[in-house]
Structure 1
Amino acid sequence: MPAVSFQNVSKTYQSARGTFKALDGVSFDIEPGEFFGLLGPNGAGKTTLISILAGLTQPSGGKVTVNGHDVQADYPSARRQLGVVPQELVFDPFFNVRETLRLQSGYFGIRHNDAWIDELLEGLGLADKAQANMRQLSGGMKRRVLVAQALVHRPPVIVLDEPTAGVDVELRQTLWQFVSRLNREGSTVLLTTHYLEEAEALCGRIAMLKQGRVVALEKTSELLRRASSNVLRFKTDQSLPDDLLVHARVTGRVVQLPAHSALEVEQLLARVRESGVVAEDIEIRKPDLEDVFIDVMGGAAQAAQAEARS
């Protein structure tokens, strides 16, 4: 039995401008014990899908189950199976950290939960903040408390919706060490993130969404193995000519260009020199998940355009 199952899930919104389809027949399963990544650009439907999984949004069609419990027909049982860390910082300003976690335990009917709360506080670097009022915490510390709240009832399925957005490196390392430990102990983890290096390092399998549809669903290793090219990387202070710029990924001084062969590397470098661009720190690297993501999203866009013309 899958830990999480999405079966032909759709979600349509009505507005003054007409109908907007946020999800369009999304189907995939997440197996028990998986560390699964859900990726996509803004507006792809990731948060809508998670809101449906958490029972916060009703689907227009399809079915979602958590360990066999339907999130609509059997919401109380399904909700007990889930620990959801939302994107937004939501907290009660009237309680300290320990009181917040005790209160969250009570929502699930759990008494005398202090031993596990202590473990959460220690594992997430919150032990010295246990008596601090939630209002006194920094944004990063509040996010740690959100994670602890999601885990306080020991859910078998953990959902992390952009958990490290806007937080420091220390929190990321602390969070991933603790969540990876829970995953090794048998917890299923569903992660959405825009930090693709995190997804590449953590997730054994990945689904990519674009405009409400699944456009890729494979093991992370297979996605990387099937990448069609290596990458020529260099630094420059100058602008690339248009014929190179259209294929380049530029981040500040760093330019990255796909190169399918050694001959193409030579041709690209020759074109760079001809254009008068001075390249520094030249290297050739294997493609990473960000390269794959860009390729998949570009291919999905071309397929959508072709479908619209036909």
Structure 2
Amino acid sequence: MPPSDNAPAQPKAVWAERFAGILAGSFAIPLLGEILLAVLNNEDFDYLRTAITAMVLGVGAAILYASQVGRIVFQRARAGFLIVAGFATATQGFLQAARPEWLRGDPIEGVVGMITLILGLSVFAMGWFYFRVEAPVAEAAAIPAPREPLPIETVSFVRAQGRYDATKHTKYFDACRAALSLEVLHYVAYYEGRHQVFAIDVFDRLEDFQPVEATQAQRREKYHEHGPQLIDLMAELDGRFSVLETGPLIRMVFDVEQGAIYYYMINSNPAVHVIGVTLDQAQIHTADDALEKLSVELRRRSGRLPITQQNT
């Protein structure tokens, strides 16, 4: 699903309204500056300059408040403004260094000063908005909320009679169910030796990946049937690659036309394996990451360190 133009927790108007408030509030800075200049220099308060500043900031804040643009549109508008503001400021700096006489005299000095003031206050408001509003949201988004496991009634759960022991295997089943999802990882099977102990999948809940010449039940049975063959293939390859002295093979990925099939070794003695499947080609790397985390969790629940930290 493509990303939304607006985060669900942030209504459309919030982004514009908050920045509009900060922009309008920044009027206090030039107002206090004018008062301070009048007191220190014993001059009259410059009502015209103050009125122009208030008008520009007020109109800009009102437009933002009324437009109620979404987050993405707001970010693009901000980027465009920063490009224009940076170019204008750089141009002014160049002219002041190269041709200072061009910027002297009324009304040029006043106009240039007001433009610089407005640009500076706008950039200040953007910086304040980022640190007070946008940065906390970005930090919160960077830490993904824990995902609840799929309800047991939404998944297909197959247990091998005589091999599945609820007392022993429930904790492993819970870990596999937590890794399963409708979007990324669609099938997980837990093996001890060549024998499947249990398998769990969401094939019946998928709408976008229906088999062409079979049913979802037949697809499930085919994965059950080919699981031991993957384990045998892994053992054969492990024997052939032993001459490389790189240690046992612990992971294998078959990138197929529709998604991928994964093999992960959880333990070598006694032999424990996990086979996973994603049917979504766009989720191959994400599903691989989910299975890697699952393998670490299964080893943790069996009292073992990750394979990278302990011999298998």
Range into which the TM-score falls when normalised by the shorter chain: under 0.3
What TM-score comes out, normalization by structure 2 length?
Answer: 0.19
Q: Give the TM-score of the pair, scaled to structure 1.
A: 0.19
Highest relative contact order (Cα 8 Å, sep 6+), 1 or 2? 1
Higher strand share: 1
Larger Rg: 2
